[in-house]
Amino acid sequence: MWDWGFLAGMLTAGALSAFFIALGVSAWRRDRSVPPNRWGVAGRRLGLDEVGGDRVAYGLVGSVDGFHVSLELRHAGLSARDVRLRLAGAGRWPASLAIGPIPSGGIARPAPDPRPLLRLGVPDFDDAIEVRGPDADVMAVLDRRTRAYLTRLEGSLSARGHGVIRVDGGDITLERSESKTDPAEIREHFKQLVKLARALDRRGRTQVRCLVDGARHDIAPMRERCVRLLVDLHRRNPDALDAFRRASNDESVSVRIAGASGLGAEGAATLAAIVRDTHEAPATRASALAAWIAIEPTPSDAATILIALLSPGVDPIEVELTRALGVVGRAESIEPLLSLWGNANATRSVRRTAREALRGIRARLDPVEAGHLSLAELDQDAGALSEADDASGSVSLGDLAAAAPDGDTQ
């Protein structure tokens, strides 16, 4: 006979097991994915509308603090979804600007970007953020305040595992895993995007105005960079001219050089003072001299200063100095240039420039000053500078440069 009590117990145990398994699966699903209706509740509190689509599991669109925003839940696997929050910039900053975190172990690297990667020379920022786009657009947008906010925001999101924020194509996106996202937090996340959008907003401010502000208020390397961009792109703009005058009196000598170079003849005295200041580093004096020669092609003592800067032990490996000496030098410049060519540490480009400088000097000298100086063509295969006697049989540069290393083809 059947043991009805035993069967009833087995059925009861089976039913209880099925109940608890179903309860566990339900809890597991809740942990893995927040039901869309919770997103709907959060969206309605923000006044957002629900949307859907083929590639989007769930979506919200609308406006937050005057900015058009959207939220998408995208399928990222059989049981996982990613959350993407987007804010449309609507032309508030250049669409050419791309900003994102430095990819690391926990951050997926986006598709290769052909735009050049810019380093601003600000270590804390450069170590955390990648920036791409035209130099002038980048400098016009990423002022001191905006860089500081971006650095703090990226650090906060990274430390708390709250996702990755990027600026590209004129929009801002924040991406993170749904399993780490509470719908109640989206208001805070949208506020972060809005705050960043307001920091990036350049409506009503021209590129010139932004660069002028940077040249006045940013840190020294950024001030110099802004001034040089103004020189290159907006030299004749009245606001830029005011910025150049202010920069030519800056506490940073690099900024003074940049500002004076934008002033033309008005800045020559500033550059000359830097060039003649023996307390300044040779590289600084060389930079000022290059700018000075661009304004006054033949300053009376330029050749003497250049020769001093090319002296052994004062870093003679400077193409710019060598080229400048070829522009302003005369007979007294020949020997230093020969010594530079014979320097075993000189690079190929420096030695080639020394050759061109000697040719330039030869072209300006009369026969008596030149001493019948002649230069042969550079041997294209060996890359060596050679000098030969001219047709009159006079002494050549080869005789004067006998100390140059034998067989050196740098």
For residue 65, report the phi and psi dihedrals to the nearest 5 degrees.
55, 35
397 within a domain of the structure (yes/no): yes
For residue 124, the domain's CATH number is: 3.30.1460
Of the listed ranges 156-160, 210-214, 246-250, 293-297, the one predicted with least confidence: 156-160
309 within a domain of the structure (yes/no): yes
Query: Of 124, 113, 175, whose CA–CA distance to 150 is shortest?
Result: 124
| pTM for the full predicted model | 0.70
Q: What is the pLDDT of residue 126?
A: 92
User: Residue 71: pLDDT above 80?
Assistant: yes
94 within a domain of the structure (yes/no): yes
Instruction: Report the chain's mean pLDDT, rounded to a whole number.
Output: 77
218 within a domain of the structure (yes/no): no
Q: Hey, what are 35's tokens?
A: 């039901």
Look at the chain and report how many structural domains it folds into. Answer: 2
Q: Report which listed range, 245-254, 384-393, 399-408, is most confident.
A: 245-254
Is 63 found in the same domain as 189?
yes
Domain's final residue, options 145, 173, 200: 200
Is 46 found in the same domain as 156?
yes
CA distance 390 to 370: 12
Looking up tokens 């105005």 gives 209
User: Residue 277: pLDDT above 70?
Assistant: yes
Q: Report which listed range, 19-33, 45-59, 179-193, is most confident.
A: 179-193
Domain's final residue, options 200, 217, 240: 200
Is 183 found in the same domain as 50?
yes
Using the Cα atoms of residue 298, residue 302, residue 303 and residue 304 in order, give the sign of their dihedral: positive
Is 308 found in the same domain as 164?
no
Are 189 and 42 in contact, with CB atoms under 8 Å apart?
no
134 within a domain of the structure (yes/no): yes
225 within a domain of the structure (yes/no): no
Provide the pLDDT confidence category of residue 306 given band limits of 50, 70 and 90. Answer: confident
Provide the pLDDT confidence category of residue 354 given band limits of 50, 70 and 90. Answer: confident
Render pLDDT for 231-264 as a digit per residue (tens, 0 to 9). 999 999 999 999 999 999 999 999 999 999 999 9
Is 320 found in the same domain as 172?
no
Is 158 found in the same domain as 53?
yes
User: Residue 318: pLDDT above 80?
Assistant: no
Domain's final residue, options 145, 178, 200: 200
253 within a domain of the structure (yes/no): no
Is 50 found in the same domain as 195?
yes
282 within a domain of the structure (yes/no): no
Is 189 found in the same domain as 42?
yes
Domain of residue 374, residue span? 297-410
Is 48 found in the same domain as 168?
yes
**Residue 380 burial (10 A CB sphere; 0-12, 13-18, 19+):** exposed
> How far is it between the farthest Cα atoms of the chain?
136
Is 323 found in the same domain as 190?
no
